[in-house]
Amino acid sequence: MTSSATLDRADPRTFPLEGGLSASFAVGLGFVVAIEGAVLHVWVASRSQPWAWAITALNVVTLVWLWREYEAGTRARLIVTDTDVEIDAGSRLRCRFPRSAVASVEDATWRSVPELASDFANTAKPLEPNVVVVLREPVAARFALGITKRVSRIGLRVADVAALLAQLR
């Protein structure tokens, strides 16, 4: 996967993507992890200091991961240039493909967004996508934990649907 800095920037157009971890959910989950971690540390420390510190370290790592996941979601974007399309939705999905690989771009409907399909990726989760990009050939997409999967349909949620449709059609 290459960074967006290596894209042909003749006339790039950037569309922020919506979806992912919300701030209120991240803060709420962070509080739960912090409180649960403190209580577990006190309870386990009376029995085993190493296990208590291991649990605390695991909770700190979880809080760091939660923060990084939220931050990545705030920077999620789709970049369209004259030759390429790059989707960077943090750990939800990263892929790049030639603009000529786009077969169609359509408003998402209940018929175009499958519940389960091996070739479909929904970057808008937990929201519903409002645009579906259909590719001529499957492309490699990287998901969380470095998992790579080939997708031929990508569900996106953008604020300006009409502009994205006009840009990719």
Tens digits of residue pLDDT in 84-131? 999 999 888 999 999 999 998 988 877 777 777 888 988 888 888 999
Q: Indicate whether 148 and 114 sit together in one domain.
A: yes
* Residue scoring higher pLDDT (125 or 11): 125
Note the pLDDT of residue 44.
95
Give the C-alpha separation, 118 to 63, whole Å: 31
**Could you give the number of structural domains in the chain?**
2
How do residues 140-151 score in pLDDT, each as one tens digit?
999 988 899 999
Judged by DSSP in three states, 2 sits in: coil
Q: Indicate whether 83 and 57 sit together in one domain.
A: no
Q: Indicate whether 141 and 127 sit together in one domain.
A: yes
Q: Indicate whether 45 and 105 sit together in one domain.
A: no
Q: Which residues of 88-101 are buried (b: 16+ CB within 10 A; e: fewer)?
A: bbbbbbbbbbeeeb
User: Above 80 in pLDDT, residue 158?
Assistant: yes
Q: What angle do CA 29, 33, 38 make, to 5 degrees?
A: 150
Q: Which domain holds residue 155?
A: 4-19+77-168
Q: Indicate whether 12 and 91 sit together in one domain.
A: yes
Distance of alpha carbon 73 from its chain centroid, rounded? 6
Q: What is the 3-state secondary structure (H, E, C) of 28-93?
A: HHHHHHHHHHHHHHHHHHCCCHHHHHHHHHHHHHHHHHHHHHHHHHHCCEEEECCCEEEEECCCCC
State the pLDDT confidence band at 7, using cuts at 50, 70 and 90. very low
Q: End of a domain among 40, 55, 73?
A: 73
Does an H or E element contain 163, and which?
helix 161-168
Residues 53-60, mean pLDDT to the nearest whole number: 96
User: Above 50 in pLDDT, residue 8?
Assistant: no
- Provide the whole-model pTM: 0.75
Q: Indicate whether 84 and 160 sit together in one domain.
A: yes
Q: End of a domain among 49, 73, 97?
A: 73
